[in-house]
Amino acid sequence: MKSFDFKSDPLTGEQYFEVYLRGQELLTDPLLNKGSYFTLEERASLGLVGLLPHGVSTIEEEVSRALDSYRRKPDDLERYLFLLGLLNRNETLFYRLLSENLTEMLPIVYTPTVGQACQQLSHIMRRARGVYVNPDTIGAIDQIFANSPLPQVKLMVVTDGERILGLGDLGADGMGIPVGKVSLYVAAGGIHPACSLPICLDVGTNNPTLLADPLYLGYRHPRLEGEAYWRFVERFVLGVKRSFPDALVQWEDFAKYKAFTLLERYRERLLSFDDDIQGTGATACAALMTAVRIKQSRFRDERFCIVGFGQAGWGTTSNLRAVLEREGLTPEEIRRRIFAVDAQGLLLEDDPAVDDVQRPFAQPRDAVTGWTLDNPDRIGLADVVRNAKPTALIGYTAAQGLFDERILRLMAEATERPVILALSNPTSRSECTPEEALQFTDGQALVATGSPFPPVRWRGRTIHMSQCNNLYIFPGVGLGALVARAGKATDRMFTAAAQALSAMVTPTEEAQGLLLPRMQHIREVAARVALAVAIEARDTGLGRLLGDDELAQLLASAQWSPRFVPYRPGAHYHL
């Protein structure tokens, strides 16, 4: 049931909402509630007289009031709960507060605090957000979507809760992740909150703690698996195509092989992508592009070692392959420049433990002939670094200290300026610290991390560290694909996004050690990434046939800024 609609006055051109709620109902709708900002005219026409204090506040005054309350909270979880409560009361105020304080609040609304919140979500939930679909309700998927009060749905962030961050199977309590990602789409990308829907595919959980918890709110059954699971997902996708045919679907925090299957099964049928695979890979690739530029080198002259070959490792390697293809290398030449290492060591073609996803990036046995090995039965990371002499080392292992003194010194021997990307979360799981990377490479390493680290003082200068946060990529990709009206999200769009992101790093920032732009420029980052994606969509026949300037103007007008707009009463409720 729609609670409002977007309108434009044909006489004056004024943008306003036609509102179908009145009185207390209006005040309890988070998308429509304006708190003390409601004008006297709106209070009279919308049944609000006497329901609010006399004073009419500016949005700046409301933000100041909210920020003061936020900063009084004693710990991060309480701050998360405060922000979630504000989101559930007054979305425009929430997004204004978040946008103006994004660097401070990002660790609260997303990692690491959102992980702590997801582990307790059934215990701390005050008001459900988004849409939950379970095996008992999937047959009513069209009605479920019709129940949403949003006037237009253009973006969906969807999880089944099986691989939430590094926390594993959290079932329906994983809904905190889509809620957080939608918040970042709005705050960073400027996608309107009335167009954005978090979704949980609640197919059960295999987490015994949740199944035994009397307060757990999810579908209290073991997970659907096999053909039953894929039938469920297919019914969901068909429902999306019927109800929201132009919407973008972002798959989020699915288990590894389900994530790859979803990506391949639906990428041609649905405007969709997987942020854990493609977004992570493009962000890391952007950092590598900056590092290669600082080194005044080319990708074809570098050698890459990716350690931890799950979704993120595969995504990064796929982006590297795309860049190397553009530089004219053959598949065999590309393979000789990328060394993938997982739990069993270097991936080799004849190793039965190498799966179908990993196999295209496995080395032939003859590529390691003559290598000096610590253990003849296994080619470990040290063996790869010593023999292949990579110039860039990228970690997705969550193995604290894996890039130890020996590994880092070997990297320094292999190249004058080694690139060290220790990309695991949280900080306690980082493969090395920035201080270690600099110490054991005599200050020559180009470093980025997956977790936030403070600047490092090294021999009289301050070196800043970029955090390879997917926030640099996914909001812009989503915005650009939607504005371009692309029918699908391609790998080339993510390569274009990475190039646009890297190009934003200024020479001054490069000199300070940064491989990505500063986070305070995230709205501009999203706009630049979105334009690159829209241009790529157009040039490959997938997007609108508009000039670069026209696309830039459309994107600028599409980026919503949190502000209150005028309301006019609708004649009746919309059913």
- Judged by DSSP in three states, 1 sits in coil
Pick the catalytic residue: 20, 70, 110, 185? 110
| Type of residue found at 347 | L
The answer to whether residues 155 and 248 touch, using CB atoms and an 8 Å cutoff, is yes
Distance CA 458, CA 345 (A): 33
The candidate with the shortest Cα–Cα distance to 220, out of 208, 228, 229, is 208
- CB count within 10 Å of CB 355 equals 15
| Type of residue found at 456 | V
| Type of residue found at 537 | A
Q: Known catalytic residue: 16? A: no
Distance CA 204, CA 169 (A): 10
Which residue has tokens 């994004």? 102
Pick the catalytic residue: 20, 95, 132, 181? 181
**In this structure, what token pair is assigned to residue 333?**
């030449």
Positions of E strands within 25-178: 131-133, 155-159
Distance CA 153, CA 241 (A): 12
Query: Is residue 10 reached through a cis peptide bond, with omega within 30 degrees of 0 on the bond before it?
Result: no
**Length of the chain in residues, anyone?**
575
The answer to whether residues 22 and 573 touch, using CB atoms and an 8 Å cutoff, is no
The candidate with the shortest Cα–Cα distance to 524, out of 128, 160, 99, is 99
Query: Is residue 198 reached through a cis peptide bond, with omega within 30 degrees of 0 on the bond before it?
Result: no
Phi and psi (nearest 5°) for 460? 85, 0
The answer to whether residues 131 and 200 touch, using CB atoms and an 8 Å cutoff, is yes
How far CA 13 is from CA of 97, 269, 301, 412, 567, in Å, comes to 28, 38, 56, 62, 14
Q: Known catalytic residue: 181? A: yes
The candidate with the shortest Cα–Cα distance to 62, out of 33, 39, 36, 38, is 36
Bridge partners of 305, per DSSP, are 339, 393
Positions marked catalytic: 110, 181
